[in-house]
Chains A and B, each alone.
Chain A
Amino acid sequence: DGGITQSPKYLFRKEGQNVTLSCEQNLNHDAMYWYRQDPGQGLRLIYYSQIVNDFQKGDIAEGYSVSREKKESFPLTVTSAQKNPTAFYLCASSIYGKLFFGSGTQLSVL
């Protein structure tokens, strides 16, 4: 079945450690997105990519990095520079403006 797969579902990070969240889609969508949700707040856009080998910063890109080497994959790295990484991370893709969402990754700091 086509869809967006995020892994892992739960991830724990030690202080000062970089971690990478995976997002894979087999929908043949050009555009992909990473959002973050904190308790009591709505989603905030971290990074997005409209096409392979190209991506743009969203509203809260500091402390994060992404790559888009393949159409199917848009991994998000949470670097040690991100001082408050504990959050729910949601990946999405879109075609003709319609969004499709992954199931998310909950990242917690040990």
Chain B
Amino acid sequence: AQSVSQHNHHVILSEAASLELGCNYSYGGTVNLFWYVQYPGQHLQLLLKYFSGDPLVKGIKGFEAEFIKSKFSFNLRKPSVQWSDTAEYFCAVNLGSARQLTFGSGTQLTVLP
């Protein structure tokens, strides 16, 4: 069965630091990849998604993610975080021929002012 791993459970950064959150999946076929964010007290929002094409995907709020097929990874990055980026971040994988969406366990990002 497919699985999604987010190895960092809690990341603490200072404002202006660079961010990289890891996401790895276990499936060798075609995948669609997503990063979602849940801000405190709010519902899930889609940050960005990859279906095909340029493996470097740009999302909202200055986030980007790079799909590296050989590493089965889809890491989320932001060059300079802000206090308002404090949230829970979820990676999700949708296998190409199936509809099932599998989530990672999430990474809590805390940005200190």
Minimum CB–CB distance for B33 against chain A, Å = 11
Q: Does A2 belong to the interface (CB within 8 Å)?
A: no
- Chain A residues with Cβ below 8 Å from B99 are 37, 39, 87-88, 104, 106
Number of interface residues, chain A, beta carbon within 8 A: 20
- Chain B residues with Cβ below 8 Å from A43 are 36, 44, 46, 101
- Chain A residues with Cβ below 8 Å from B36 are 42-43
Q: C-beta contact mask, A9-44 vs B, less than 8 Å → 1, else 0?
A: 000000000000000000000000101010110110
In the complex formed, the residue of B with least CB distance to A35 is B44
User: Which single member of A48, A97, A99 contacts B40 (CB below 8 Å)?
Assistant: A97
Q: Does A90 belong to the interface (CB within 8 Å)?
A: yes
User: Which single member of B34, B38, B94, B102 contacts A99 (CB below 8 Å)?
Assistant: B38
What separation, in Å, do the CA atoms of A38 and B103 have in the docked complex?
16
What separation, in Å, do the CA atoms of A90 and B43 have in the docked complex?
14
In the complex formed, the residue of B with least CB distance to A45 is B43
User: Which single member of B38, B43, B103 contacts A58 (CB below 8 Å)?
Assistant: B43
Q: Does B100 belong to the interface (CB within 8 Å)?
A: yes
Which B residues fall within an 8 A CB radius of A? Answer: 34, 36, 38, 40-41, 43-44, 46, 49, 51, 88, 90, 94, 98-103, 106, 108
Which A residues fall within an 8 A CB radius of B? Answer: 33, 35, 37, 39-40, 42-43, 45, 48, 58, 87-88, 90, 97-99, 101, 103-104, 106
20 additional A-B residue pairs with CB within 8 Å, beyond A97-B88, A106-B100 = A37-B99, A37-B101, A43-B101, A45-B44, A48-B43, A58-B43, A87-B99, A88-B99, A90-B101, A97-B38, A97-B40, A98-B106, A98-B108, A99-B38, A99-B44, A99-B88, A99-B103, A103-B100, A103-B102, A106-B99
